[in-house]
């Protein structure tokens, strides 16, 4: 088991949180053989120290014309999208900026030199989006939930791989790291099931082999609401302070 610290979101990230997280996970009973605190042959394990990997992937995606710059704001997209979308899921991108980067009458895989795209000036920040193959069904077998299929352009749209604050998006960072760290199986929450389809496209574009995926049902509170950071009362730290033991909690988790 490998512990990777996904600390790219500098607005939420605090070093104190990391040591508390490691402490809490150890208390609960997790043991990892590689991680930011124990090292390992695929170090560094803090994503903030791995920017060179992500930039290389971004360059590769740009060179292959898999991505395009997008200047839409969140509000622009909300206004352009009419179809409802799940709370967790970003709306399917309406393709506003994609059209600007395609040559009329040619297919999207045609390489368009970036210099010809009338890019905004360099001080203008934009998101880079992955151009999904509209209509293609991305299927995979989840090790827990079985056969899955998502249609590009319908179930998910052109997604952000690099954000306008110059940070790689989750999709890109974790696909690049999973490949570089030779991860064989990813275990994560079922809220990321659709993201697996996005990441499979990234693996393909980057010429990498995807790992196996095992998506778990989300943990929910007594009213059925998924546990999140706002459920502070149920954090491991609070449970520990309330005198609960890791053995007892692990037993409850298995049932
Ligand atoms: Zn846009």
Q: pLDDT tens across 89-137, in order?
A: 678 888 889 887 765 444 444 444 454 444 444 445 789 999 999 999 9
- Ranges 14-18, 84-88, 178-182, 243-247: which has the least confidence: 84-88
Tell me how far the alpha carbon of residue 203 lies from the centroid of ligand 1, in angstroms. 23
Tell me how far the alpha carbon of residue 198 lies from the centroid of ligand 1, in angstroms. 18
Tell me how far the alpha carbon of residue 96 lies from the centroid of ligand 1, in angstroms. 5
Does this model's pTM top 0.85? My answer is: no
What pLDDT score does 118 carry? 47
Q: pLDDT tens across 164-205, in order?
A: 888 999 999 999 999 999 999 999 999 999 999 999 999 999
Q: pLDDT tens across 32-59, in order?
A: 999 999 999 999 999 999 999 999 999 9
What pLDDT score does 88 carry? 59
- Ranges 193-202, 214-223, 241-250: which has the least confidence: 214-223
Tell me how far the alpha carbon of residue 253 lies from the centroid of ligand 1, in angstroms. 42
Tell me how far the alpha carbon of residue 101 lies from the centroid of ligand 1, in angstroms. 10
Q: What percent of the chain has pLDDT over 70?
A: 82
Structure token pair of residue 99: 């059209």
DSSP string, the chain: -B--B----TTT--HHHHHHHHHHHHHHT---SBBTTTB-TT---BGGG-HHHHHHHHHHHHHTT-EEEE---HHHHHHH--S---TTSPPPP--HHHHHTS-TTS-TTS---GGGG-PPPTTS--EEEE---TT-EEEEEETTTEEEEEEBTTTB-SEEEE-TTS-B-HHHHHHHHHHHTT--EEEEEGGGHHHHHHHHHHHHHHT----EEEEEPPPB-TTSPBP-TT-GGGSHHHHHHTT--HHHHHHHHH-
Mean pLDDT of 62-75: 90
């Amino acid at each position: 088991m490998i512990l990777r610290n996904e600390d790219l979101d500098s607005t939420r990230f605090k070093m104190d949180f990391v040591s508390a997280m490691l402490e809490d996970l150890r208390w609960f009973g997790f043991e990892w053989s590689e991680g930011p605190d124990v090292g390992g042959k695929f170090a560094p394990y803090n994503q903030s120290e791995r920017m060179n990997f992500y930039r290389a992937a971004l360059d590769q995606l740009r060179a292959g014309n898999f991505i395009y710059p997008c200047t839409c704001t969140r509000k622009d997209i909300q206004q352009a999208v009419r179809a409802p979308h799940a709370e967790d899921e970003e709306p399917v991108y309406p393709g506003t900026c994609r059209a600007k980067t395609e040559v009329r009458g040619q297919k999207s895989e045609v390489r368009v030199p970036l210099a010809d795209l009338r890019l905004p000036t360099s001080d203008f920040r934009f998101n880079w989006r992955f151009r999904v193959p509209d209509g293609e069904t991305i299927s995979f077998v989840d090790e827990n939930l079985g056969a899955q299929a998502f249609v590009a352009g319908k179930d998910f749209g052109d997604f952000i791989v690099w954000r306008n604050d110059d940070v790689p998006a989750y999709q890109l960072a974790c696909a690049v790291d999973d490949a570089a760290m030779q991860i064989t199986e990813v275990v994560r929450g079922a809220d990321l099931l659709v993201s697996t389809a996005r990441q499979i496209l990234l693996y393909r574009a980057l010429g990498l082999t995807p790992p196996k995926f095992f998506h778990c049902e989300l943990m929910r509170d007594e009213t059925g609401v998924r546990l999140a950071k706002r459920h502070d009362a149920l954090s491991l730290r609070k449970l520990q302070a309330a005198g609960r033991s890791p053995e007892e909690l692990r037993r409850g988790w298995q049932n």
